[in-house]
Amino acid sequence: MTGGTAAPDGGHRAAAEEWLAQDPDPGTRAELRAILDAGDGAALAERFGARLEFGTAGLRGELGAGPNRMNRVTVMRAAAGLAARLLRDHPPGAEVAIGYDARHGSRRFALDTAAVLAGAGLAPWVFPEPVPTPVLAHRVGAFGGVVAGVMVTASHNPARDNGYKVYWGDGAQIVPPLDAEISAAIDAVGRVDELPLGTRWGTFGADAAEVYLDAVTGLGLGEAREVSVAYTPLHGVGRETLLAAFERAGFPAPAVVADQAEPDPDFPTVAFPNPEEPGAMDRVLALAAASGSDLVIANDPDADRCAVAVPLPGGGARVLTGDEVGGLLAEHVLRHTSGPDRLLVTTVVSSSLLGAVARAHGVRFAESLTGFKWIMKAGGPGDRLVFGYEEALGYSVGDGRGVPVRDKDGIGAALAVAALAAEARAAGRTLLDLLDGQARRYGLHATAQLAVRVDDPALIAGAMARLRGAPPGRLAGRAVEAFDDLAEGAGGLPPTDGLRFRLAAGTAPGDGPARVVIRPSGTEPKLKCYLEVVLPVGEAADVAPVRARAAEGLDGLRESVSDALSLS
């Protein structure tokens, strides 16, 4: 993400000239030279007035010249800092796995990373072709000799972006203090044209994904296989791996959206390559209707997220939320595993349903901060993580041995969803029937989001400060029963910039409790608000009117929280 380290007023031209002198990329050199020749001070300030900050998500930003952009200089500096930090703990020759997606610049950034790591004395191994992020994460975690991994991807960001994710030897993304230590090492890197560069590194074989496929197709989550699937990789890198996984697991081959099947870094058929965005799944929903599919699945471009929809008998489809898929997959995993040491994990902004599921099944449950880097650190000694998820369509599905991928895995999740849908189909049911069954057992946990985008990031800090200083006593007519400032490390969690409000039941008959969590986005100038209402349903009740009442409750919360923020 962008931010933080401002250059002094003026000095941008001198910084740009120094950048030009070390930049190995003719494209970004030409871009920067044109800006200098045009005397475009605003463009220089935008590129050199700040820099991309290396955090727990690594780097992510727009492609282009300068320290506030993703480019070869930025990547080589990141690789040099990573190498310096790794050599504090590991001897020369330690292995690092490097993967990349099909975005603009990804392969070049991967090879630059390999050259810098090799020049520092490490032993990089590079995938020969673009791969899904979970394949890289599994490669790091599954092989004891691999001490770290790099994945060049911007996941579901727009086409103009790229990014750089770092994994440690356990196969999970880095968390503090590693991010700060790597960032400090990056700050100590000098000119990249003075870095020693290696010219030889290992290349994984063409069957590099085989071990990953063995892991995700061997989860043993049921034997049913009769289900027809319509699928899209959204112009990303998931198709070949997902089709191979479905074939190996014994599922019928999914129908694939033809004009989204091949990797294309321009994402020409979608305004935003994120299956959560309106319109992104239109083509795969149309394919499902035309082919009579039982199930709809979409991956994002690096295939670490999985979106799910169910076609409706009278036409159209119901797109499931991440929380709904998370609840269904949790019980599916628990039905096919055993032991009280099993652990379910979700984040503080995801539905409270998972805790209810864990209690009912007599297994362990933990909440984490937002992001899979935190999900994988949750729990304690003796816990066996079998399932973790976050509401933003991220799932890590395991079996009796635990989770094979210590990050979100859109392909493993797709297999598990297909197995669950096939199991339901064999019983004459659909995923929608299963959702109603969960609502009857645990109450209807309905969730929604409110996102408020602003032009001035200072407005976000002001809104958070106002709510901290004078938290509202009521929201949507409900009393605030408990208020947690997550910056104080509420519930034993690491401190984070967030606020949580637990609300009493509403005054209408059948209303249950509610919850609101508010936090600033980590990548964009906006506040994200996560809303939940819980309504009792009853054993034999029709769930539809309860869902309608829950939607009204969420609308009321959305309006009340928006008023409390005072940003629109």
pLDDT tens over the chain, length 568 residues: 444 444 444 689 999 999 999 999 999 999 999 999 999 999 999 999 999 998 777 999 999 999 999 999 999 999 999 999 999 999 999 999 999 999 999 999 999 999 999 999 999 999 999 999 999 999 999 988 899 999 999 999 999 999 999 999 999 999 999 999 999 999 999 999 999 999 999 999 988 899 999 999 999 999 999 999 999 999 999 999 999 999 999 999 999 999 999 999 999 999 999 999 999 999 999 999 999 999 999 999 999 999 999 999 989 999 999 999 999 999 999 999 999 999 999 999 999 999 999 999 999 999 999 999 999 999 999 999 999 999 999 999 999 899 999 999 999 999 999 999 999 999 999 999 999 999 999 999 999 999 998 888 889 999 999 999 999 999 999 999 999 999 999 888 999 999 999 999 977 777 899 999 999 987 677 899 999 999 999 887 899 999 999 999 999 999 999 999 988 6
Spatial CA neighbour of 138 closest among 327, 436, 407: 407
Using CA atoms, how far apart are residues 371 and 376, in angstroms rounded to an integer?
Answer: 9
Which of 155, 293, 368, 560 is catalytic? The answer is 155
Classify domain 53-203 at the CATH class level. Answer: alpha beta
Residues 6+ apart with CB under 8 A from 66: 16, 19, 32, 44, 47, 48
Using CA atoms, how far apart are residues 61 and 162, in angstroms rounded to an integer?
Answer: 6
Using CA atoms, how far apart are residues 486 and 516, in angstroms rounded to an integer?
Answer: 13
Q: Which residue has the tokens 């039905």?
A: 335
Using CA atoms, how far apart are residues 370 and 374, in angstroms rounded to an integer?
Answer: 7
The pair of structure tokens assigned to 118 is 């090799």
Spatial CA neighbour of 303 closest among 202, 422, 405: 405
Q: Residue 1's pLDDT is what?
A: 40
Do residues 65 and 48 make contact, with C-beta atoms less than 8 angstroms apart? no
| CATH of region 322-408, choose from 3.40.640.10, 3.40.120.10, 3.40.50.360, 3.30.365.10 | 3.40.120.10
Q: Quick check: is 568 catalytic?
A: no
Q: Residue 523's pLDDT is what?
A: 67
What ranges make up the beta strands (E) of 444-513? 444-453, 474-475, 478-485, 499-503
Domains 322-408 and 443-565 share a fold: no
Do residues 219 and 412 make contact, with C-beta atoms less than 8 angstroms apart? yes
Q: What are the residue boundaries of the structural domains of the chain, listed by start? A: 53-203, 322-408, 443-565
Spatial CA neighbour of 242 closest among 266, 209, 268, 273: 209
How many Cβ atoms sit within 10 Å of the Cβ of residue 222? 16
Q: Residue 528's pLDDT is what?
A: 95
For residue 420, report the phi and psi dihedrals to the nearest 5 degrees. -65, -45
Do residues 281 and 309 make contact, with C-beta atoms less than 8 angstroms apart? yes
SS (H, E, C) 204-248: CCCCCCHHHHHHHHCCCCCCCCCCCEEEECCCCCCHHHHHHHHHH
Q: Can you name the CATH fold of 443-565? A: TATA-Binding Protein (3.30.310)
The DSSP line for 19-46 is HHHH---HHHHHHHHHHHHHT-HHHHHH
How many Cβ atoms sit within 10 Å of the Cβ of residue 89? 11
Q: Residue 6's pLDDT is what?
A: 43
